[in-house]
Amino acid sequence: MHVNRRITLAALVSIAVPSAAALAAVVGFSEIEDPEVRACLQRTLPDTALSETILLRVFDDAGSVSESAADLYWKRFEDDRSRALIRFTEPPRRAGVALLVTEREDSRAEPDMYIYLPELRTTRRITGKALAGSMFGTDFSYEDFAQLQGILGNRSMQRLADAELDGRVAYVIETISGNDDSEYSRIVSFIDQQWCLPVATQFYGRDKSLRKELLVAREAVRKLENRWVPYRSTMHDRKRGGRTDLVIRKITLDPELHDRIFTTLELRSGP
């Protein structure tokens, strides 16, 4: 297992997406320097890659529900930089829409982020304040997704005093972005010390108020091989009142993923 990882970290959108997405959310903490927290998280990190099939349920403040399904891929390349891809498969009107996020060589720089829209047959780059926009109508923003996949640059992390959540002790990590376009003043993550998973993540706006909260459903945490996986988590928009459930239908640890999947040329087709 490669353990010389920069815990120079990003994370949780949840999009932790979507959860991050599950173990990918842990990747978001690959930059943390505290040796105790780092050792815990490295027991959960995939070695080189991750693939997931996920279901997203979006609940608005009026009670309406919409569902989407997507495939998510993450890979750490030989240069130790990460790339992540999410491609929607359902519903039909959204099938083929894809988002590619690539960590840049300068760890202080924001990631390269591209979205492919099949109805327009075009690939567009997402930059600046557009990062705060809703990702495909969910309660995750593009910035959330990059944060969760460990690809967001120009930020600092520090460990705060441990806390207790639901009778279990958690490490507390505070992340502060150095990006003026970020919608958050800080992000506070609670990492369960037994599972070594982020079980709660709080996103605070520039006005210091709680904007979003990503919570893992503890009853949906199950063991896969030697790692704990959160099969369901929810991003709550505390300002707007909506929420997005992220459910993992299938997960594969360290699959063989070809490098070409993570290129803009391949966004038009499936991996």
Digit-by-digit pLDDT tens for the chain (271 residues) are 333 333 222 332 233 333 333 444 454 555 677 889 888 888 887 888 889 999 989 887 777 888 999 998 988 888 878 888 989 999 898 899 898 888 877 766 677 888 898 888 888 887 655 555 555 566 566 566 555 544 445 567 889 999 999 999 999 999 887 666 677 888 898 999 999 988 998 989 889 999 889 899 999 999 988 889 999 999 898 988 888 898 999 999 899 999 999 998 888 775 5
DSSP class of residue 7 equals B
What's the CA gap between 159 and 167, in Å, rounded?
Answer: 20
Q: Which contiguous run of DSSP H or E holds residue 24?
A: helix 22-26
Number of other CB atoms surrounding residue 241 within 10 Å: 12
Rounded to the nearest 5 degrees, what angle is found at the Cα of 119, between the Cα atoms of 116 and 121?
55
Write the CATH number of the domain with boundaries 22-250.
2.50.20.10
Q: What is the pLDDT of residue 112?
A: 83
Domain residue ranges of the chain, discontinuous segments joined by +: 22-250
Q: What is the pLDDT of residue 24?
A: 42
Exposed / middle / buried, residue 91 (Cβ in 10 Å: 0-12, 13-18, 19+) = exposed
